[in-house]
Structure 1
Amino acid sequence: MEDFDYVIVGAGSAGCVLANRLSENGKYRVALLEAGGSDLNFWVRMPIGYGKAFYHNTLNWKYLTEPVPGIADRQSYWPRGKVLGGSSSINAMVFIRGQAQDFDGWRALGNPGWGYDDVLPVFKRMEDNVAGADSWRGAGGPVTVTNIEKVVHPLCENYLAGGIEAGLARNPDFNGATQEGIGIYQITTRNGFRCSTATAYLAPACDRENLHVIKAAHVTHVLFEGRRAKGVEYRRGNEIRQIRARREVILSAGAVNTPQILQLSGIGEPAMLKRHGIEVVHAADQVGRNLQDHIGFDHLYASQRPTLNDVLRPWWGRLAVGLRYVLTRSGPLSLSVNQGGGFFRTSPERTRPNMQLYFSPVSYTRAIPGRRALMSPDPFSGFLVGVSNCHPTSRGALAIRSADPFAAPEIRPNYLSTDEDVQELLEAAHFLRRLAGTGPMREIIKHEIKPGADITSDEDLVADIRQRSGSVFHPCGTCAMGPEPATSVVDPRLRVHGVDGLRVVDASIFPRITAGNINAPTIMVGEKGADLILAAAR
C-alpha cells in the first residue's frame, strides 16, 4: 500500500485546486484520485461542446433525482462531471462569484474567516481577468476569465436595451462593485478553449514528482483506524486497492459524491447506515441534508430577426462556424449560449437581487430536458430569456440506497416546497412578460412560444412554472459548514466533525447557496481549503 501525505478524492472544481496548491512547495506527497478519465476530449475543450458533454456516457455521472412533487412529480436530470476538472469541464462556463452578502451570511452563521472581506482576496488571487485587475478583480491567477461583450450575438443589444427600459441598470461587471443589473456574462475560456480547473490548476502541476494523479479510480470508502481517517479504498478496473494518508484525507467529490462517500464510510444518520449494514464510525445526521440548488425556467420566443438557430441548424452553417473555430478559435463555438445576463429584485421590498437572468440567442423547444443538442436548435429563428432563483428556501436531501458504492444515491431536491420560492418565480414570470413588452424586445419578438399568450393568470403561470422549471445544475450544501456538529458536517476549517484527519473541500460545504453560478465560489473554496490545510501543516 502506497503512502502519501495527502489523499484528495475527486479532481473537480475544488480538487484540482487542492492538488496544485498542496504539491506546490514540494514538501508533501499528494495523491489525487478521479473516478473519470482525461479531459483531453473535443467536447470538453471546445466551449459549446458542453451540449454534448451534458449527456455523455463517460464524461458525466448523469444523475436523476426522485420525482419532485413541487415540479409536477417530474424527475430532474443532474449532469455532474466525471472527468478531470469535474463539472468545470462540462459546465456553461459563466463566471459569477456571488453577492458580498452571501459570504457575510456564511460568517454570520458561525464561520469566521468566510466573510466577503476574507474571501475577496482569494477570488482575486485565483483569477486572470483578461480585462485587468482592479479593486474587485484579479489578474495573473490560474483561471482565465474572458469578457465576450464585443463578440456576442447582435440580439443581445435588444436584450440589454429592453432590460434598461424595464428598469434595470446596465452592469458591465457582475463580479465588481455590485451584482445587480443587466449585462453580458464573462466566461472561463482561454484563447478560445474552455479553462476548467484541470486546465488552470492541474495541467501546470502534473509534472511535479510529488503529485500522483490516478484516473479511473472509484473511491468506495474512507479507511479508519479508530476515529482517524488513514486512507481510502478504491476500485480501478477489476482491482480493489488502498492508499494511505499520513496527514489527511480530503473529500472533494462534489455535492453528490462527497456525502455518498461519507455515508458509505460510516459517517451519517445511524439508523440509515445500520439499515444498509454499514458500521457507524460517527453519528452525523446532517450528512446529505441541507441540499440546495437553483431552479429556473425559460420563456421562448419566435424571432423576427436571425438568431443562432439560423447559423447552427443548417449543415452549411455548422460547417462555416466549425471551420471558423478550427482556424481562428473564434465565433459561436468559442462561446456559451448563455450570453446576456443579469440580477434583479422581483419586488422593491427586497434588499438585494433574488433572481438571475439569462439571454440565449438560440432556442430548443423540442429538446428533452437535460439533452439540449446545442448544435441542433429549432428549425426557425428563435431565442429564449430565462430566470433562476438566487436564494431558494427549499431544502432537500440525498442518501445512499444501499452499501453498493456504485449505486447512484437517492436524490430528493424538494424544489418549490415553500410558498416563498413559488411566489418569487411567479414575480419573475411577470417580469419576463414586462421585459418582452419593451420597445427593443418587441422589435425582435414575432410571438411567444412558451408559456404562450393564453397563459395569463397567476394560477396558470404557477402551473407552467411547476411543469417546465428545472435545475440549473448548482447543487451544494450537503456537508454544510458550521460550528455545531448537530447542525453541520464540517467546522469552519473544513474538518469533519467527530473524526480526525478528514476534511471536505468542495461545494457541499456551502451553508447557504450563493447567488448565481457556483463554479467560481467552489474554486474559491478549493483555494481557501488549501490555505487552511497548509496552515495546519505548519
Structure 2
Amino acid sequence: MSATNTFDFIIVGAGSAGCVLANHLSADRRFTVLLIEAGKMSHPLTPVPISFSRFIDNPKVNWCYGSEPEPVMAQRSIPVPRGRMLGGSSAINGLVYVRGQPLDYNNWAKLGNRGWSFDDVLPIFQRMENYGPGADEWRRQGGPLHVSEVADQNPLYDALIAAGEEIGLPNNPDYNGADQTGLCKTQTTIRGGKRMSAAVAYLDREVPPEPDDRDRGLGTPSNVKRKTMHRHQLSVDGRTIDAQARVEVILCWGSINSPQLLGLSGIGQPALLKSQGIEVCHSLPGLARVCAITSLHAWVGQSGNVACVQRSGTRSRAPVANCQIRDQEDGFLSLPRPRLLLSLKPSRPGEPRRPAPSRPYRFPPHTPILDEPGMRLPFTSCAPGKSGVNSYQVGDPHEAPAIRFNFLSNQMDPQTLVDAVRFTRRLMQAPGKDSFAVSSSSLGRRTK
C-alpha cells in the first residue's frame, strides 16, 4: 500500500469479480488500483482440483458462514461456504463452469438492471473464456479463463447418458450454448490438471511488475470496517488504516459480505438499519434479499462392475494419483466435484412454461470415500418460490451476517424436489443403466 493510501480505484474483495476488475483497471497505466482481500494469498492445495473437499469447512480459507435456524427444516443451520483467499470462492469451489439461464438475466433487466440482459452479458462471457472444443455462435477462444469438458473417462457416464436418452432426455453437447436442458458432461475451469481460479486467470502475470511500479496494490489480509462513497476504513494486522479513492470505490465482496458492509455504512433497508442502531445514509430497500437455492442429496446405489472414483482415491493409491497429476496432468486429483450435469424443467398442469431448468442434477464423488463404488445425485431447485434475508450485526464487521434462506417455505419447493426423486427413479429403471448394475438405493418407493 502506498504511503499516501490514496488510489484512483479501491476494489473491495479479491474474488471472481474483484480479480477481473483489478486486471482491467490496472491495464490502464493512468490509474492506480488498490485490491483489498480479507483472506490469504494462497494455499498449498489450491491448485489441486479435488481439494475442494478440504476447503468446505476450513476457516483459514473459508468464511464458513451458516444460516439462522430454518423453521421449515427442523431448525437446522445450513452451511454457507464462501472463499476467504485470493480468488474468493473460485479458489475453493467444485470448478464447474455454468453461465446461467438467459431467462434469468432477461428478468433482471426487466426489473430495471440495465446491462444485465442475456444479450448484454453474452459478449462478456465470450471474452472471458478460452473454450477448448472451439468457437461457435455461443462460445469463444482466446480469453484468460480456460474452459473445457471434464477429461475423466468412465463407462458409468456413458451408461447414464444412454439411460437418459431412453427416457427422452437429450444428450446436450454444450449446456452453456443455445440450450441448457439435457444430460451432459460438466465443463470445468481446469487447465493442465490444475485449478484455474479467478486469481490465476486474471492476476497472475507473465511479466511481474517492476519493484517501483505503483499502478496497483494488494492489501491482504485486511478487513473493511466501513465505507463512505470515496473512502474505506481498513483493519490490517490490528491497525486501522484509511484508504481514499480519487475516482470510485467498487464493492466486490459477494452476495453475503457486500450487503453487510453497505449496511454497516448506513446503506440498505431503513427499518432494518434503524433497528440495528445504524444511521441511514441512503435507502436501498432491496439490498438484503437473498435468493435461496434448495437442494436434496440422495445416495443412489452401489455399482460393483464400474471403476468409480473411490477406487482411485484410497490411501494406497495416493502415490499413483500424485504421479498422474504431476506427470500426466490427469487422474483422481485433477477431477472437479461433479462430472455430469442434468438440467430439466418439471411440467405441472396450469403452471406457466418456463424455459429455464429448475433442477440441475450433479453427479459428484463421494465424501468421505466409501468402501464400495457407487454414485450420489444431489437435486437442486434453482428457481425457489421465496427469497431469504441477509442482515448484519450492529457496528461490528467481524460478526458473521445473519442469513435466513426460508428453505422449503413455499409449497412448490418441496414438490419440485419430490418430482426430482421420482424422475431419478425413472432414470435408474431405464435399460441403459443395466451396465452399472445398481444393487441398492436410497430412492426406493418406501423412502420418504
**TM score, norm. by length of structure 1:** 0.78
Q: Which amino acid aligns with 2:363?
A: F
Question: Which residue does the alignment assign to 2:134?
Answer: 132
Deviation at 1:69? 2.0
Q: Is the 8 A contact 2:50 2:337 kept in 1?
A: yes
Question: Which residue does the alignment assign to 1:426?
Answer: 418
Q: Which aligned pairs between 1:27-176 and structure 2 lie closer than 5 A? A: 27-39=30-42, 41-148=43-150, 150-176=151-177
- Structure 2 CA distance for partners of 1:104 and 1:276, relative to 1, 3 Å: closer
Question: Which residue does the alignment assign to 1:294?
Answer: 293
The correspondence for 2:26, drawn from 23, 27, 50, is: 23
Q: Is the 8 A contact 2:304 2:372 kept in 1?
A: no
Q: Is the 8 A contact 1:145 1:189 kept in 2?
A: yes
Deviation at 1:441? 2.0
Deviation at 1:206? 6.5
Q: Is the 8 A contact 2:64 2:81 kept in 1?
A: yes
Q: Is the 8 A contact 2:292 2:406 kept in 1?
A: no
Q: Is the 8 A contact 1:171 1:180 kept in 2?
A: yes
How far, CA to CA, are the matches of 1:299 and 1:447 in structure 2? Answer: 15
- Structure 2 CA distance for partners of 1:280 and 1:113, relative to 1, 3 Å: closer
Q: Which aligned pairs between 1:271-350 and structure 2 lie closer than 5 A? A: 271-289=271-289, 291-300=290-299, 301-305=301-305, 306-313=307-314, 315-347=315-347, 350=353
> Is the counterpart of residue 408 in structure 1 residue 407 in structure 2?
no
Question: Which residue does the alignment assign to 1:378?
Answer: 370
Deviation at 1:112? 3.3
Question: Which residue does the alignment assign to 2:239?
Answer: 239
Q: Which amino acid aligns with 1:297?
A: L
Deviation at 1:244? 0.1
Percent of residue pairs identical: 36
Question: Which residue does the alignment assign to 1:358?
Answer: 362
Q: Which amino acid aligns with 1:440?
A: G
Deviation at 1:452? 4.5
- Structure 2 CA distance for partners of 1:285 and 1:107, relative to 1, 3 Å: closer
Deviation at 1:232? 0.4
Q: How many residues were matched structurally?
A: 435
Relative to structure 2, which stretch is displaced further, 406-415 or 329-338? 329-338
Deviation at 1:385? 2.0
Deviation at 1:451? 4.4
How far, CA to CA, are the matches of 1:401 and 1:195 in structure 2? Answer: 34
Q: Kindly provide the CA deviation profile for residues 186-234 of structure 1, in whole angstroms up to 9, marking residues without a partner as x.
A: 10011111111100111239736411111101001103xxxxx121001
How far, CA to CA, are the matches of 1:209 and 1:203 in structure 2? Answer: 17
Q: What SS does the corresponding residue of 1:151 show, helix, strand or coil?
A: coil
Q: Which amino acid aligns with 1:100?
A: P
Relative to structure 2, which stretch is displaced further, 198-207 or 58-67? 198-207
- Structure 2 CA distance for partners of 1:87 and 1:95, relative to 1, 3 Å: same
Q: What SS does the corresponding residue of 1:447 show, helix, strand or coil?
A: coil
How far, CA to CA, are the matches of 2:160 and 2:257 in structure 1? Answer: 38
Q: What SS does the corresponding residue of 2:69 show, helix, strand or coil?
A: coil
Cα RMSD, aligned residues only = 1.8
Deviation at 1:102? 1.9
Q: What SS does the corresponding residue of 1:312 show, helix, strand or coil?
A: coil
Q: What SS does the corresponding residue of 1:128 show, helix, strand or coil?
A: strand
How far, CA to CA, are the matches of 2:63 and 2:317 in structure 1? Answer: 32
Deviation at 1:308? 1.2
Q: Which aligned pairs between 1:468-479 and structure 2 lie closer than 5 A? A: none
- Structure 2 CA distance for partners of 1:258 and 1:28, relative to 1, 3 Å: same
Question: Which residue does the alignment assign to 2:17?
Answer: 14
Question: Which residue does the alignment assign to 1:184?
Answer: 185
- Structure 2 CA distance for partners of 1:274 and 1:413, relative to 1, 3 Å: same
Q: Which amino acid aligns with 1:308?
A: V
Q: What SS does the corresponding residue of 2:99 show, helix, strand or coil?
A: coil
How far, CA to CA, are the matches of 1:450 and 1:389 in structure 2? Answer: 20
How far, CA to CA, are the matches of 2:277 and 2:170 in structure 1? Answer: 57
How far, CA to CA, are the matches of 2:76 and 2:437 in structure 1? Answer: 30
Q: Is the 8 A contact 2:109 2:117 kept in 1?
A: yes
Q: Which amino acid aligns with 2:359?
A: M
- Structure 2 CA distance for partners of 1:179 and 1:95, relative to 1, 3 Å: same
Deviation at 1:33? 0.3
Q: Which amino acid aligns with 2:223?
A: H
Deviation at 1:125? 0.5
Question: Which residue does the alignment assign to 1:262?
Answer: 262
Deviation at 1:136? 0.4
Q: Is the 8 A contact 1:342 1:358 kept in 2?
A: yes
> Is the counterpart of residue 197 in structure 1 residue 189 in structure 2?
no
Deviation at 1:346? 1.8
Q: Which amino acid aligns with 2:250?
A: I
Deviation at 1:268? 2.2
Q: What SS does the corresponding residue of 2:363 show, helix, strand or coil?
A: strand
How far, CA to CA, are the matches of 2:100 and 2:154 in structure 1? Answer: 25
Q: What SS does the corresponding residue of 1:8 show, helix, strand or coil?
A: strand
Mind listing any 5+ residue stretches in structure 2 that lack a counterpart?
none
How far, CA to CA, are the matches of 2:93 and 2:208 in structure 1? Answer: 23
Q: Is the 8 A contact 1:231 1:245 kept in 2?
A: yes
Q: Is the 8 A contact 1:37 1:215 kept in 2?
A: yes
Q: Is the 8 A contact 1:152 1:339 kept in 2?
A: no
Relative to structure 2, which stretch is displaced further, 325-334 or 446-455? 446-455
The correspondence for 2:7, drawn from 4, 9, 29, is: 4
How far, CA to CA, are the matches of 1:106 and 1:267 in structure 2? Answer: 21
Mind listing any 5+ residue stretches in structure 1 that lack a counterpart?
224-228, 364-371, 461-538
Q: Kindly provide the CA deviation profile for residues 420-440 of structure 1, in whole angstroms up to 9, marking residues without a partner as x.
A: 222222111110111111112
